[in-house]
Copies of this chain bind each other. A is one copy, B any other.
């Protein structure tokens, strides 16, 4: 879930027979090329290597087009994260709270636990440099956590929880140890961590550790309406 994917030009990849229709149009294709260039440059040279001119050159787009539409590096980074949110990602549905949390954590682990550069890590580092990137990264994660409320709602529906649970607190408890160990503590990646953190959080949830403060948050009650941000639960 913590893995913003690289933007790509879907119009040419997925509809070759109707290429002349240009779904999304020229503007969408320029955006895809520019955002792909931002990701590439960020991975190759980090935030310091990211300039509007370098992005324009890499994307093969006139620099005034990039300046007019994005203005600066912060806006470009924010748009990478906006584009990454604009997908149909939904949390895994494995049939158990422990299984769903393990699968979520596995996604986070794969984004953070490797030696080489990765867009997620590069964007998190960039967020410490650019307020616009920081704000967009927060929005990206808030959207992911909102979609993941479905994981807690399903657990409640299955009777896995003793009562209402604060879904955000539960989800943060499950995923935060991965970010903490891999990104901040820079511990040697432990492939058992996704499952261990999920198991501990599921046990805590069964022990009513995420009982909401009074009054309960609406989305945390087991009979709450489905989260509208999660159209494919």
Contacts and interface: CB of A to CB of B under 8 A. Distances in A.
A51 interface: no
A172 B179 contact: no
Interface in A178-207: 179-181, 183-187, 192, 196-197, 199-201, 203-204, 206-207
B185 A169 contact: no
B180 A176 contact: yes
Contacts of A196: 169, 213
A10 interface: no
A173 interface: yes
A132 to B, nearest CB: 12
Query: Interface range on chain A: under 10, 10 to 19, 20 to 34, or 35 or more?
Result: 35 or more
A54 to B, nearest CB: 19
A200 B183 CA distance: 23
Nearest to A207: B207
A134 interface: yes
A94 interface: no
A138 interface: yes
Nearest to A126: B128
A109 interface: no
A194 to B, nearest CB: 13
Given A172-B177, A199-B209, 7 more contacts: A128-B128, A141-B185, A169-B177, A172-B181, A173-B173, A196-B213, A204-B209
29 contacts: A124-B184, A125-B128, A128-B128, A134-B186, A135-B186, A138-B185, A141-B185, A142-B185, A169-B177, A169-B196, A169-B197, A172-B180, A172-B185, A173-B177, A173-B201, A176-B176, A176-B177, A179-B184, A180-B180, A192-B213, A199-B209, A200-B209, A200-B210, A201-B204, A201-B209, A203-B204, A204-B207, A204-B209, A206-B207
Kindly list the 4 A-B residue pairs having the minimum CB-CB distance in the complex, ordered from nearest: A204-B204, A203-B209, A207-B207, A176-B180
